[in-house]
């Protein structure tokens, strides 16, 4: 069987952040899957199931009531490894597009007090498995340490980010070689070949 895309990400170098995990097409519609990574994989303790469950209930409630985004929300749920969540939106988005939404959502979770929505036997399959104080704490930490100071290193998977970082240097290198060919016609044939080979 083929290795699925999310298993090809190097989890040893993955920092907490907001990433585009994949884009799929269903008929003509694009679906963007986001990787909302809240703890650093294989580096710090994962979240316990009770706080993951609480975040799931609060985030799903928040997203499905959001005046701007509710129509585009397809799914929000935890990763099996308990280091983060997946959010699926209908539409073609980049991770930066949802940073304001994530800030709003995690501020809602940080500040939430009272009864967790849907936490009763009729509405949930394991309603006693909840930890609101830890959900508040994790949301606060994610806001302070990630969302409030976010940059490309936590918005684009590292492998892709490193390639993008190299592009200006590669362009500069190519321009210098072309300039060298134009200024030194004696070597131009040889150098042009070198450029063409590279």
Q: Are 34 and 25 in contact (CB under 8 A)?
A: no
DSSP structure string for 139-182: HHHHHHHTGGG--GGGTS-HHHHHHHHHHHHHHHHHHHHHHHHH
Smallest separation (angstroms) from Zn ion to the CB of 65: 17
- For the CB of residue 122, give the shortest distance to Zn ion in the complex, in Å: 11
Residue whose CB is less far from Zn ion, 31 or 55: 55
Applying CB under 5 A, the span of 24-32, 73-81, 122-130, 141-149 interacting with Zn ion comes to: 122-130
Query: Between residues 38 and 59, which has the closer beta carbon with respect to Zn ion?
Result: 59
| 57: three-class secondary structure by DSSP | helix
The closest of 46, 50, 47, 74 to 60, measured between CA atoms, is: 74
* 111/123 with CB nearer Zn ion: 123
Q: Does 124 bind Zn ion (CB under 5 A)?
A: yes
Element (H, E) at 23: strand 17-26
3 Rama sector, left if φ>0, alpha if ψ -120 to 50, beta otherwise: beta
Q: How far is the CB of 21 from Zn ion (least distance, A)?
A: 23
Nearer to Zn ion, 126 or 184 (CB): 126
Minimum separation from the CB atom of position 120 to Zn ion (A): 10
Site membership for Zn ion, residue 74 (CB under 5 A): no
Residue 50 binding Zn ion, by CB under 5 A: no
Residue 106's Cα: distance from chain center in Å? 14
Toward Zn ion, which CB reaches closer, 55 or 139? 55
Q: How many residues bind Zn ion (CB under 5 A)?
A: 1
Binding positions for Zn ion, rule: CB under 5 A: 124
């Amino acid at each position: 069987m083929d290795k699925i895309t999310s298993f090809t990400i190097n989890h040893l170098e993955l920092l907490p952040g907001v990433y585009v995990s994949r884009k799929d097409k269903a008929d003509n519609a694009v679906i963007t899957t986001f990787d909302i990574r809240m703890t650093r994989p294989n580096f710090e303790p994962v979240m316990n199931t009770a706080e993951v469950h609480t975040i799931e209930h609060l985030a799903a409630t928040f997203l499905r009531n959001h005046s701007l985004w509710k129509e585009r929300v397809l799914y929000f749920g935890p990763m099996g490894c308990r280091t983060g969540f997946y959010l699926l939106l209908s539409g073609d988005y980049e991770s930066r597009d949802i940073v304001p939404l994530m800030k709003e959502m995690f501020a809602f979770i940080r500040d939430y007090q009272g009864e967790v929505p849907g936490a009763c036997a009729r509405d949930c399959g394991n309603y006693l498995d909840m930890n609101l104080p830890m959900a508040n704490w994790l949301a606060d930490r994610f806001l302070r340490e990630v969302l409030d100071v976010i940059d490309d290193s936590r918005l684009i998977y590292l492998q892709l980010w490193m390639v993008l970082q190299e592009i200006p240097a590669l362009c500069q290198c190519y321009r210098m070689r072309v300039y060298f060919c134009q200024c030194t016609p004696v070597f131009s044939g040889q150098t042009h070949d070198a450029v063409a080979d590279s």
